[in-house]
Amino acid sequence: MQNQSAKADAPTLSAVDKDGPVSAPAGKAPTNRRPLIVLGVIALLALGVGGRMYWRSVNFVETENAYVSGHVHPISARVAGVVAKVLVEDNQLVKAGEVIAELDPADQQVRVEQIQAQLAAAQTQVLQAEAQVAQVKASASAAGAQVAAAEALALRARQDAERFSALHNAQMKAVSKAELDAAIAARTSAQADVAARKDAAQAAQAQIAAANSAREVAKAQVAVLQAQLKDAQQQLGYNKIVAPVAGRIGKKSVEVGARVQPGQQLLAIVQDDVWVTANFKETQLPGLKPGQSVHVAVDALPGEKLEAKLDSFSPASGNQFALLPADNATGNFTKIVQRVPVKLRLRAEDTKRLAGRLVPGMSAVVEVDLRQK
């Protein structure tokens, strides 16, 4: 029975071998490894990117909130007037002390001439006052001499009165009573004349003081007019508007014939000496120190890799210098990471090489390697 069963199964096996391999059981699909490979690659890439981000966050500090800064000098008129000449154009290079524009000097010139005439009159008054002082001093000297003469006469009259008194008494009548009375009267008159002469001398001295005071007033008036003349001449000089520094002309709004007022901005001068102001987050500051080397990439100069030195930190955050700083002493306080401006000094050769192309206001990207000593 067993042999017959084996024989019966033999053709079946041979038939299977002829048709090929045995097919998989029904309900099971073949395994596809492609999604697993893709997921593995993505995971490796994510791991690499994450590792690189972590490595850079530990060793580098960077910010895109950075701008090129520079000295921008607003130029304005110091006196009112009509513009007579404009000697510069937009973007032109100027030197320090170079004349930029000129105002019509007619008004200031008239004022200078008027003050000069007043000054000449005041100086004449000073000369007259000095002559008056000399005249009064001479009168006082004469009055003093008259006092001395009157005192001498008074002394003689007193001595005569004493002698006549001695010669006319109860025991002796060497002179008459009329002569004694005349001597006494002469003494009294001489004493009165001395008093009058002294009063005249005092009046002369008072006139000297008054004349000196008048002379000092005239001199003070001369000093005032001299100061006014100096101011008027300065105002006349202000008709020439000069460049205070060397740089490039920008934002020119002045034209010939325009009437300008004191303090009115006419144009601006931008110096070539520029630097970079980077606004770092306060959480990025612990690794930053003055003197560190900084990589700077300016958006307007994509091919330029600039080097700078960290110069200094701002004394306060940008919020403190805002027109309306945030008031954190309120009930709805929300902590926000503040930014602190940091000044980065570019190399002198770079600023000189890129003069005219590297200008204030350009955006930049700043990166600091924290591994440097």
> For all residues of the chain together, what is the average pLDDT?
84
Q: Which of 168-172, 198-202, 216-220, 262-266 has the lowest mean pLDDT?
A: 168-172
Counting Cα atoms < 13 Å in the Cβ hemisphere of 328 gives 7
Which tens digit of pLDDT belongs to each residue from 284-316?
999 899 999 999 999 999 888 899 999 999 999
Residue 21 has pLDDT above 60, yes or no: no
List of E strands, 300-338:
306-313
**Of residues 206 and 60, more confidently modeled:** 60
Q: Quick one: pLDDT at residue 355?
A: 87
Look up the pTM and report it. 0.65
The model's pLDDT over 270-287, given as tens digits with 9 standing for 90+, comes to: 998 999 999 999 999 998
pLDDT of residue 39: 85
Mean pLDDT across 17-22:
46
Higher pLDDT, 101 or 331: 101
CA-only gyration radius of the chain, Å: 54
Q: How confident is the model at residue 22 (pLDDT cuts 50, 70, 90)?
A: very low
Residue 336 confidence class, pLDDT cut points 50, 70, 90: confident
The 10s digit of each residue's pLDDT in 110-162 is 999 999 999 999 999 888 888 888 888 887 777 777 778 877 877 877 877 77
Domains and CATH numbers, the chain: 62-104+246-369 (2.40.30.170), 106-237 (1.10.287.620)
